Structure 1
Amino acid sequence: MVGRSSKKKTVSLSRTVTVDGDELEVVDECVYLGSLITADNNTTKEIQRRIQAGNRAYFALRKTLRPRRIPRRTKLTVYKTLIRPVVLYGLENVTLLTEDIRALAVFERKVLRTIFGGVQTESGEWRRLMNHELQALLGEILFVQQAKVGRLRWAGHVARMPDDSAVKSVLFNDPADTRNRGAQRARWLDQIEADLRVTGRLRVTGRLRVTGRLLRRRVAQARVDWRRIIETTRATTALN
């Protein structure tokens, strides 16, 4: 009796819509192409899913990443091939909040400290590597910087799409409604502008131009120039 009652209650609360004669269930969130999509566009949930997936990969490979007899180069290859892509998947389309950036950084430092181990001081004691020491040993940009580079690369791809492209329309068309008063959630385009501002490339000449608060439609038509901007972003350590 309880099972039947519970089942009827679940069915009565379900919502459906009809699209071209097909009845579809309305849900608050779903996974599409490996990424979590929520009705309220809560990208933090997707970041948490990425980190959880990275943790599963990390714990499965920890016996390979920890031993000192395995060369660091081999460990870094395993990390870059089997762990980092799991976490970075789809992040070029995600708006990163402050807590998301912090969570990504904490996870990456955990993996890197497992790979590099500790450092012995002059007194003979061992200590953990500091954050800047980890980045120096890694020799390349970190998670968050890599996500920002991917975000700029994806923005260039979208800007070069035809004007009738659905993806380009969603990105560049202004919504009809106004935003509510008070503090606003960060938007994807706002973070693109912030990245370009850090690199000193907010305003660029020729066929590339970013003005105001929106990434204009003509941005990245010159592919070579846009690639140069991406490389500048990759080399800018201030993106953290």
Structure 2
Amino acid sequence: MPIKLKGIIYKSVIRPVLIYGSETWAVTKKHVSTIQVAEMKMLRWMCGVTRLDKIRNEYVRGSLGVRDVADKIQEKRLRWYGHGKRRPPEYIGNATLNLDIPGQRRRGRPKLRWLSVVKKDMEICELKEEDVQDRAKWKKKIRKADPVTRRDKR
């Protein structure tokens, strides 16, 4: 099977299964690392190379025309956040984003919250809260397109 076709199958079948529901995760570095390892194992297997061949991840991804899974998770999370924020203010999802729970939190470092991850993603993509209403601008800034391989240009 041609490598280009393998990349297309990966992008349309395998990656969606791998990151299903990721828009609602408060993703930590450990989660991202685990998913990236699983992704690279699959991509290397599809290319027929092993880690002993010492081929860089960027080259393997480039030959299949695949973007890093962490970028795609970020894109999905910001897209989902934008959908929710464009809903009316009385929408239950918007009400829960601004929910303040009374009482004290446990000792130690607070657990990572989903909204904190979204705010960090927005800083990375240089987005502001008011940019949500402009769909075209929002989509353009959050989009993380897969690279084009040499074979695609023909």
TM bin (shorter chain): 0.7 to 0.9
Distance 1:127 1:97, change over 3 A: same
User: Which runs of 5 or more structure 2 residues have no equivalent in the other structure?
Assistant: 146-154
Q: Is 1:106 aligned to 2:37, yes or no?
A: yes
Aligned identity (percent) is 30
Q: Is 1:153 aligned to 2:79, yes or no?
A: yes
Q: Amino acid of the residue matched to residue 230 of structure 1? A: I
Q: Partners of 2:88 and 2:23 in 1: how far apart?
A: 20
Q: Partners of 2:141 and 2:40 in 1: how far apart?
A: 27
TM-score for both structures, normalised by structure 1: 0.54
Q: Is 1:225 aligned to 2:141, yes or no?
A: no
Give CA-to-partner distance per residue, 1:176-212, whole Å, 9 cap, x none: 334334212211111112112223x15xxxxxx34xx
Q: Is the 8 A contact 1:117 1:128 kept in 2?
A: no
Q: Give 3-state SS (helix, strand or coil) of 1:220's partner.
A: helix
Distance 1:169 1:219, change over 3 A: farther
The structural deviation recorded for 1:219 is: 5.3
Distance 1:193 1:146, change over 3 A: same
Q: Which has the higher strand share?
A: 1
Q: Amino acid of the residue matched to residue 35 of structure 2? A: L
User: Which runs of 5 or more structure 1 residues have no equivalent in the other structure?
Assistant: 1-69, 120-125, 203-208, 211-217, 236-240
Q: Partners of 1:179 and 1:138 in 2: how far apart?
A: 46
Q: In angstroms, what is the RMSD of aligned CA positions?
A: 2.1
Q: Partners of 2:23 and 2:11 in 1: how far apart?
A: 17
Q: Amino acid of the residue matched to residue 24 of structure 2? A: N
Give CA-to-partner distance per residue, 1:106-144, whole Å, 9 cap, x none: 10000110112239xxxxxx7142222223223342222
Which has the higher relative contact order, 1 or 2, with Cα contacts under 8 A spaced 6 or more apart?
A: 2
Q: Amino acid of the residue matched to residue 92 of structure 1? A: E
Moved more, 134-143 or 155-164: 134-143
Q: Which has the higher helix share?
A: 2
Which residues in structure 2 correspond to 1:77-116 (within 5 Å)?
Answer: 77-116=8-47
TM-score for both structures, normalised by structure 2: 0.81
Paired residues in the alignment total 144
Q: Partners of 1:137 and 1:74 in 2: how far apart?
A: 11
Q: Amino acid of the residue matched to residue 182 of structure 1? A: G
Runs in 1 of length 4+ with deviation above 6 angstroms?
none
Q: Give 3-state SS (helix, strand or coil) of 1:162's partner.
A: coil
Give CA-to-partner distance per residue, 1:46-73, whole Å, 9 cap, x none: xxxxxxxxxxxxxxxxxxxxxxxx1112
Q: Partners of 2:138 and 2:6 in 1: how far apart?
A: 33
Distance 1:221 1:98, change over 3 A: same
Q: Partners of 2:26 and 2:36 in 1: how far apart?
A: 16
